[in-house]
Amino acid sequence: MNKEELQEEIQELSLHLADMLEVALLYAGAKKDKIEKVAKLYVENIDEALKDDESEEMDREDIITVIEFIKSKNPELFTK
């Protein structure tokens, strides 16, 4: 795989991960018309939500923690 093919593969994986994040947020109750805002908040709040976590890598529990953090700070962006 040459450098150009590798960059294309990375781009495709990045888009796939962004889609997966949006799906996870929708399943967590994010309003469909607010999904882009919620996804942006997810990325912006990772450090704050996990400030007490000493592990170096994110796992499933950390992802849930960040989503719960966003839901608690922005309930208007989620369904009841």
Length of the chain: 80
56: tokens are 């170096």
Residues 25/35, Cβ–Cβ less than 8 Å: yes
Of all residues in the chain, the percent with pLDDT exceeding 70 is 100
Q: From CA 27, how far away is CA 20, in angstroms rounded?
A: 11
The domain limits of the chain are 3-77
pLDDT score at 56: 84
pLDDT score at 69: 98
Of all residues in the chain, the percent with pLDDT exceeding 90 is 90
Asked if the model's pLDDT at residue 27 lies above 90, the reply is yes
Burial of 35 (0-12, 13-18, 19+ CB in 10 A): middle
pLDDT score at 44: 97
| Residue type for position 34 | K
